[in-house]
Structure 1
Amino acid sequence: MERDNCIRVAMVEDDPLFRDAVRNMLDRQPGMMLHAVAISRAEGVAMLQGAAADVLLADIGLPDGSGLDVLKEAVTRWPSCAVLISTTFGDESYVMDAIALGAAGYLLKDASEMQRVEAIRTSYEGGSPISPMIARQVLSRFRHHLPVPAARTAPALSEREREVLRHVSQGFTEAEIAARLEVSTHTIHTYVRRIYQKLSVSSRIEAVTLARRQGWLDG
């Protein structure tokens, strides 16, 4: 794939081992390239003055401040860039702050290489990837703190779409769902995007929260 057609990935990460792991991962992906690297909050903010990346991987715990500051700047300076938080911090407060500030997704560093690649592609395509453990935390918060909305008519989801949505609600990634249903990851991604459209939502958290509260996952 030509460089112009690659997904350009920028990174703000102070851990040299993790930086090298991501660099090597991107080198092995023909459709991706490393666009820019920063190792601190200050460098991350300065990096945003240059040409925009398609996806920005940002750590929260940086030596001179919070990666959330970089996220805030990125939303303004690189509006077309999807910011994917990649960190060891799984605390609910960090997750909610990142989502509120405009993060496209939230991935824990213990994710597999396949999950990282999938998360980058999904965020680039407009999705909202999130680690299963984090998804469960956020869904729990939604279930306990949001008021119950008025009942809505169940959307016309196919049986296959309902099956995919049930797997999504259990925290499985698209790759894991594909393996369970014995289809390609691309097929599952297509189902997920179709589900989003039918439910008028833009993320798995919104889709599952709505479906659970309306009882569409029962049975």
Structure 2
Amino acid sequence: MTGHEQETRAACRILLIEDDEPVRERLARIIVEWPGGNLVGACGTLADAMQAIADIPIDLLITDLKLPDGHGVQAIRLLRERQPNAEAMVVSVLADDRTVIGAIEAGATGYLLKDSDPIDIVEAISELLAGRSPISSTIARTIVRRLGGREVAGDASPDPATAKSLTPREMDILWGIAKGFTYGELAERLKISKQTVPVHIKNIYRKLQANNRSEAVYEASRRGLIRL
């Protein structure tokens, strides 16, 4: 057996579920370019994913949660039933307590937010396959708060003052952040200068009292400014 054949055989067979096409293509590209990964499928719907889980041997499921025809947790549960030795990792913008705990209880052993850099995703996959549970810091905080019994008053309640303070353009940028788009992709989609994107993002961080993308999306979702 050649070294190339050994590498191919040892590659992690990964099934990807993501309904947003640009995000799906971005994640698929990360996996394809990673020597340790073998992308066996990239699905945009829960139905396609369920069929793939039933038909294709996989080592790792990477899934979004909110899908056009269902929820990623359903795919995780089927994976546990059909392929119990496989791992499951969530890559989502959703970070509320109920969603995070529900995914983990269903069998997810990793949970990243969509603003993770390519190297972070690859490292997370490697950690998960090594028996660890990679999670974003915001998700860790959610779990600690939930397990500590400290529910945040007003979680998921709209904050009219904050909503009013965000301009229409900032709301557009906020949605782009939630979808995991890069500065360049946001500029292209919104037909604005690439240099103005970080200016808008800085204002969003200030108004939401956030320090990074993950915290901004989490705060926006918690305050009811965006529904994901």
- State the 1:143 CA deviation: 2.2
- TM-score, normalising length: structure 1: 0.63
CA contact (8 A) 1:57 1:83 kept: yes
Counterpart of 1:124, as a letter, is L
CA contact (8 A) 1:87 1:109 kept: yes
Give the structure 1 partner of residue 99 of structure 2: 94
**Deviations 1:6-55, CA, capped at 9 Å, x for gaps:** 11111111111111111211222111121112111111111111232111
CA contact (8 A) 2:12 2:36 kept: yes
Describe how 1:60-79 pairs up with structure 2 within 5 A: 60-79=65-84
Aligned-pair RMSD on alpha carbons?
1.3
Describe how 1:131-150 pairs up with structure 2 within 5 A: 131-144=136-149
Give the structure 1 partner of residue 219 of structure 2: none
Consecutive unaligned residues of structure 1, counting only runs of 5 or more, are 146-219
Give the structure 1 partner of residue 11 of structure 2: 6
Is 1:84 aligned to 2:89, yes or no?
A: yes
Structure 1: how far apart are the matches of 2:135 and 2:80? 18
- TM-score, normalising length: structure 2: 0.61
CA contact (8 A) 1:55 1:123 kept: no
Structure 1: how far apart are the matches of 2:148 and 2:89? 24
Identity %: 31
Give the structure 2 partner of residue 126 of structure 1: 131
- Show structure 1 runs of 4+ deviating over 2 A: none
Structure 2: how far apart are the matches of 1:65 and 1:108? 19
**Deviations 1:101-155, CA, capped at 9 Å, x for gaps:** 111111111111111111111112221111111101111222236xxxxxxxxxx
- State the 1:80 CA deviation: 1.0
What is the total number of aligned residue pairs between the two structures? 145
